[in-house]
Amino acid sequence: MALNLDDIRAARELLREVIVPTPLIHSRVLSEAIGGPVYLKCENLQRTGSFKIRGAYVRIARLSEAERAGGVVAASAGNHAQGVALAASMLGCKATVFMPAGAPLPKVAATKGYGAEVVFPGPTVDDCLEAAQEYAAERGAVFIHPFDHADVVAGQGTIGLEILEQLPDVRTVVGAVGGGGLMSGVATALKAAAKETGAQEVKIVGAQAKRAAAFPPSLAAGRPVRVEVQPTMADGISVGRPGDLTYDLVTDLVDAVVTVTEESISQALLMCLERAKQVVEPAGAAGVAALLEHSYAVRTPVVALLSGGNIDPVLLAKVLRHGLAGAGRYLVVRCRLKDRPGALVTLLSELAELGVNVLDVMHERITARLHVEEAEVLMHLETRGSEHSEDVLGRLRAKGYTLTLS
């Protein structure tokens, strides 16, 4: 299943009336941090909220009429599900999508809204993959793999062609890697275009969540290997094994695959929201997280791919709090007080004088760890940053308060 630049150009023709060319926006804050121009490729603004519609549409459009008549089936936690559902509806094809039982409700609702039948076979994506493949075998439907097929990779590679038109002197592209379809396609387009024109080659950097990083051990072993993934907020790139095709393409064309922590992902998401006004999901922010953690790996101008923006509002609230904590702007503090009238009011007044916003307070008076004359307050505090947080904690301790960070 070889892939070349002509395949990606042909995929672009198929997609010309289907997708929107997404904007490339300059990021001043990242440019200052890196020491050179940084741009964000906003696939979070693509139809269905992610890049996945590109590959899904190309794959289904290239099926025969008989194959489309039998329907398509997919397994996904969300973005691939939506891409397949919309592509199938546009091409007059029935889609059945297997999703984990705990998939975010907005992604489930969107998949159904695009016309797909949604089935919940179990709690994990692996359960869904197994069930989807069994369904395809039993019903004669075509299984649409989320990343390990040349047509899917070609569709994702059209992002690379757009980047070249928008920023011809790009030197590095960094983006999320789960199964590898996105960066395989982008790398194929950019490396082949550089060869064709004799231009300077573009460096490609993939970013994996540290808790779900199958590519580094696979590259070290010289073959795709399965790893046990840990829970990660970046569920969109939580893949236990690279694809066979994508492993070969990443090995040949991607210059580096780095890992990023949950803290970096949450801070990257917060930065995108606050400074670039872009709502992204954790997996969609992995490229920005890589710039925050691994700026040494890039040459500028650099493009970071915002690969998706489909985030559950409940998760968004949690991740933002996580990002604020990582930036020193959110504290959870236990404080011991004398159990006497006015003690809590005094503490809150002192926090107000220090410019702290108290978000939540829980007051405990009867617990085995406290003396009879003591009380304890658990507070969620909003500060102006790390220096302000340290100043607040120092001043409270100087006033005799016993503090414990939670």
Which residues have a catalytic role annotated?
52, 307
Alpha helix locations (H) across 169-285? 181-197, 215-221, 244-253, 262-275
Cβ pair 254, 183 in contact under 8 A: yes
Cα separation, 204 vs 170, in Å, equals: 11
- Classify residue 235 by its DSSP letter: G
Cα separation, 205 vs 339, in Å, equals: 56
Cβ pair 71, 139 in contact under 8 A: yes
**Tokens 């969109």 map to which residue?**
236
Cβ pair 250, 282 in contact under 8 A: no
- Classify residue 50 by its DSSP letter: B
Return the SS3 of 337.
strand
Cα separation, 11 vs 14, in Å, equals: 5
Closest to 309 in 3D by CA, of 106, 20, 31: 106
Paired tokens of 51: 């890049």
Closest to 383 in 3D by CA, of 398, 394, 374: 394
Cα separation, 118 vs 81, in Å, equals: 9
Burial-class residue 12 by CB neighbours within 10 Å (0-12, 13-18, 19+): buried
CA–chain centroid gap for 270, Å, is: 12
Beta-bridge partners for 379? 333, 361
